[in-house]
Structure 1
Amino acid sequence: MARGIPVLLNDEQMRTFITEGFLILNTDFPEAFHHKLAEQLNQVYEQEGNPGNNLLPRIRDLQKVFDHPIVTGALTSVLGPDYLMHTHRHGHFNASPKAGGWHKDSYWGHKKMRNHHPWWAMVMYFPQDTPIELGPTGVMPGTQNYESRTFTEEDPQGEATASGKAGTFALIHYDIWHRSTPNTLGKPRYMLKFEFMRTQAPVAPSWDCKEDEWSAPTAFSTDIAKQEVVWKETWNWLSGKLGSLADTEAETETLNIQEKVDQLEGAYEPDAINASYKLAGMGEAGIKALLQALLHDNVKVSRTAAYGLSAAGSGAVAGLEAALSEDRVETVVHAVFALGELRQLAASVIPKLVALLDASTNAVIRQTVAEALAMIGTPSEQVVDALIRCLKDGDVQVRFIAGLSLCRMGAIAEAAVPALEEALDDDNRYVRGHAAEALHYIGTDSAKNVLIEFLLNSRWCPTTTPQSTF
């Protein structure tokens, strides 16, 4: 299949992604394409080492993988048509007979609230045939929503692997638990990891949607904790329905508030998350219980409550705004996160969020505000002005996030072009990279002129190597 119209995921594939957190798909390039690409990787790794963020210019044919309609269709379905390829990418070489440790990838190390909604995703591409004996990536289905390991690390039950023919790729929710599995063959195994980010909140399904209402997939791992209310809310969110849980269960379950609060405070994370989302649908009484839990002494309870509040609709805004004045950093971070997820419903809180940028000496709070501002997005002039200030923040991760946030603002952020031009000279590679991406998404003539000059001055020759310097 040549480059062309994206092949969108169907309803069943989207249901599987929502429940299991990943899909295993395959391109249809001829075998020789992948073989050539693997040979190039062998040569580069042997002579130069891991090219890291320069994978695409160094292995030029690799771009064809990410232009393939099956790959673009899968990414469009999950992240919307304006998704961004993150500046960070990495080639993973595995020749070890030992399994790697279970982990979730970081967002460049900052203490970010992980999002149940698919704002981020990863593609893991395997350029060679990768049977289970060659050590493909292993994922634990359904764990994308959990901070804790809900499985036994030494003997994980239900692990799925990205094994398959050359050209296989795994599309995974960014926050899923995963690892490298043992390479018992000892032959070279490459996995090329690329990160992607949604730049716009969904307003309608971006996959090949035939059915409006949520239903569970016809088959999924029996080891997954059932989270129907979480899955339904994610389906609705992806369909463009903001705050879809508000009052959905207010009449039928008002007497069960205390039962849900007890589960929310319990040790088993899947039940706690279920309870949080259930409370979000129980009207004013449920929101009140979540706001109280936001102040809980146990930070984990506070964080879990924030997920429910992020789906509770406009009724949660006033209480979340009040929580911005709390002394505990984590409480403020959780409240800011939920307000960002409520998007335009929280527009009235923008002045207080902007004030936090000046008032807070805590970098994590400022990082969280920098992301939430663009997710709320309005009033746009105030948001853009605040993000321009964030580009000049003393904390590198605030600057890093500001660039990504300006990508979400688009042409309305043209006033940020001079500050983004300055950010192109930042000491940090990712601040520079995100500034360039922001200029691309702003897309005005002034933004394009700055971007083109930067790209021309920083162009990189993929065939210049220590062995071939001219």
Structure 2
Amino acid sequence: MNQQSPLLLTDEQLRTFITNGFLILQTDFSDSFHEQLMAQLNQVYENEGNPGNNLLPRIRELQKVFDHPVITGALTSVLGENYMLHAHRHGHYNASPVAGGWHKDSYWGYGRMRNHHPWWAMIMYFPQDTPVELGPTGVMPGTQNYETRTFAKDDIADEAVASGSAGTFALIHYDIWHRSTPNVLGKHRYMLKFEFMRTQAPESPSWNNQETAWRKPASYSTPFGEHDVLWEETWNWLSGRMGSMAGTKPASAEQVSSLVQGLGDASEPVALNAAYDLAAAGAPGVEALLQALRHENKAISRLAAYGLSISGEAAVPGLIAALNDARPETVVHAVFALGELRDLAASAVPALNGLLDNGTAVAVRRAVVEALGIIGTPIDEVTAGLIRCLQDEDVQVRFMAGLSLSRLGSAAKAAVPQLIQSLDDENRYVRAHSLEALRYIGTEEAKEALIEDLFRSRWCFTTTKENAFYP
């Protein structure tokens, strides 16, 4: 177990993360540590192929990386103390002289409305010296909150790369646009990708916080626009001040009308600012956003949901009413906003549970399962709904249920029997997330189930096709 205290991010580093969507940081392992790590990676990849989700048990020294105080500190600062190392992990090998395509990672194949608040983050770790010529990961700064690629595929003038000596890593907002860059040297280049989830909403700053008020970092790169309200709201949210921007910038009727027009702007950064500015405009802005939620243009509806998600309690009645909309996309957007409003949306839980019938559009059920875990109260009703989700016919509803129950912790102990049954699910992530939920619930019954499953499915990390049976 790591005995070193996490090296928390400073205010300036967190401000940079909020604006740029990433940080490039450095561990201080010895050269010999990385040489041994590379030797193991080369042996495994050459003889066995990519170990995928078994990366940690197959290369056990790698756990030391995720116990390093720079990495634990970065993750604690962004995701809180009880963050989860997700079951999906992947070693990316790049020897191609051709750049990869720009993309956002999916959620294990699951399409979902992406969070602007940092509920998720990734670590991309480089175990070898990675000059630009070796093809490090490239990220497009400031694009973590954009659904669309706002730049041409060959537009790399503003690209940042995770280049550095062995032990360099990128901490990135899960939803930032990124790609692999060309490896013109043709030598081995590994990037070890791990995903992490926040399990608790922030109640206070979890970084080395010295300043209460938001201000922009001294240096940042957001080539496609600035997002003053969004950035300040994210800072406040991470500080435990939810809904802090609601009504802080009152607007006239004419200004509200102009912002509504802005929701349909061809530039997503402009339209995104309009949504957040409407949320800050008070009651007229909330009403305009509720109307836009039902707009025939689904992109406008989605942007309205982001605005409503920070609009505070005033948005809740209108969002509950929108759950009855005939269009599934409108309902999904309303569910998302209710989830982000957390306990302020507790009155929506009965209506949300009512959307869990298999006859409801699957996209709606997928949104509901996540919202329930974030709202979290009333606990008995939320837990009952998530127990139903563990039995849903859709695999993605089932595997999101385990993550939502992890967020509830011991209060969700009524779900333990169904979680135990889910350990035999056909899907690997249903099983993995059920194990995580049992770990976070932490009752004696849950712990016993964890231990039994561990011994039943014990994985021998030294067993390979060359060493199958003997010591």
User: Structure 2 length as normaliser, TM-score?
Assistant: 0.98
Give the aligned partner of residue 134 of structure 1: 134
8 Å CA contact retained: 2:358, 2:392: no
**Could you say what secondary structure the match of 2:172 adopts?**
strand
Give the aligned partner of residue 434 of structure 1: 433
Give the aligned partner of residue 51 of structure 1: 51
Per the TM alignment, residue 272 of structure 1 is displaced from its structure 2 partner at its CA by 0.6
- CA distance, structure 2, for counterparts of residue 382 and residue 188 of structure 1: 52
Give the aligned partner of residue 167 of structure 1: 167
Q: 1:448 to 1:155 in 2, by over 3 A?
A: same
Q: 1:340 to 1:222 in 2, by over 3 A?
A: closer
- CA distance, structure 1, for counterparts of residue 349 and residue 208 of structure 2: 35
- CA distance, structure 2, for counterparts of residue 420 and residue 254 of structure 1: 51
8 Å CA contact retained: 1:302, 1:331: yes
- CA distance, structure 1, for counterparts of residue 338 and residue 203 of structure 2: 18
8 Å CA contact retained: 1:290, 1:308: yes
After superposition, give the CA deviation of every residue in 1:394-415 in whole Å (9 maximum; x if it has no partner).
0000001000000000001111
Give the aligned partner of residue 329 of structure 1: 328
8 Å CA contact retained: 1:157, 1:223: no
- CA distance, structure 1, for counterparts of residue 294 and residue 257 of structure 2: 16
8 Å CA contact retained: 2:150, 2:224: no
Give the aligned partner of residue 379 of structure 2: 380
What 5-or-longer segments of structure 2 have no aligned partner? none
After superposition, give the CA deviation of every residue in 1:173-228 in whole Å (9 maximum; x if it has no partner).
00000000000000000000000000000011100000011000000116241111
Q: Does 1:278 align with 2:277?
A: yes
Per the TM alignment, residue 360 of structure 1 is displaced from its structure 2 partner at its CA by 4.3
Per the TM alignment, residue 253 of structure 1 is displaced from its structure 2 partner at its CA by 4.8
8 Å CA contact retained: 1:3, 1:68: no
Per the TM alignment, residue 364 of structure 1 is displaced from its structure 2 partner at its CA by 1.0
Give the aligned partner of residue 5 of structure 1: 5
**Could you say what secondary structure the match of 2:86 adopts?**
strand
- CA distance, structure 1, for counterparts of residue 239 and residue 178 of structure 2: 27
What are the equivalent positions in structure 2 for 1:336-375 lying under 5 Å apart?
336-358=335-357, 360-375=359-374
What are the equivalent positions in structure 2 for 1:153-232 lying under 5 Å apart?
153-221=153-221, 223-232=223-232
Per the TM alignment, residue 466 of structure 1 is displaced from its structure 2 partner at its CA by 1.1
- CA distance, structure 2, for counterparts of residue 457 and residue 56 of structure 1: 19
8 Å CA contact retained: 1:203, 1:241: yes
Q: Does 1:71 align with 2:71?
A: yes
After superposition, give the CA deviation of every residue in 1:151-173 in whole Å (9 maximum; x if it has no partner).
12112221000010001110000
- CA distance, structure 1, for counterparts of residue 109 and residue 44 of structure 2: 28
**CA RMSD, 1 decimal:** 1.0
- CA distance, structure 2, for counterparts of residue 428 and residue 286 of structure 1: 43
Give the aligned partner of residue 109 of structure 1: 109
- CA distance, structure 2, for counterparts of residue 434 and residue 349 of structure 1: 25
Q: 1:464 to 1:222 in 2, by over 3 A?
A: closer
Per the TM alignment, residue 3 of structure 1 is displaced from its structure 2 partner at its CA by 4.6
User: Structure 1 length as normaliser, TM-score?
Assistant: 0.98
- CA distance, structure 2, for counterparts of residue 416 and residue 36 of structure 1: 43
Per the TM alignment, residue 233 of structure 1 is displaced from its structure 2 partner at its CA by 0.6
**Could you say what secondary structure the match of 1:464 adopts?**
coil
Per the TM alignment, residue 363 of structure 1 is displaced from its structure 2 partner at its CA by 1.1
- CA distance, structure 2, for counterparts of residue 269 and residue 222 of structure 1: 14
**Could you say what secondary structure the match of 1:192 adopts?**
strand
What 5-or-longer segments of structure 1 have no aligned partner? none
Give the aligned partner of residue 234 of structure 2: 234
Give the aligned partner of residue 257 of structure 2: 258
**Number of matched pairs:** 468
**Could you say what secondary structure the match of 2:462 adopts?**
coil
Per the TM alignment, residue 111 of structure 1 is displaced from its structure 2 partner at its CA by 2.2
**Could you say what secondary structure the match of 1:124 adopts?**
strand
After superposition, give the CA deviation of every residue in 1:281-335 in whole Å (9 maximum; x if it has no partner).
1111000100111011100000001000000000000100010000101000000
- CA distance, structure 2, for counterparts of residue 461 and residue 225 of structure 1: 50
After superposition, give the CA deviation of every residue in 1:96-120 in whole Å (9 maximum; x if it has no partner).
0000000000012222000100000
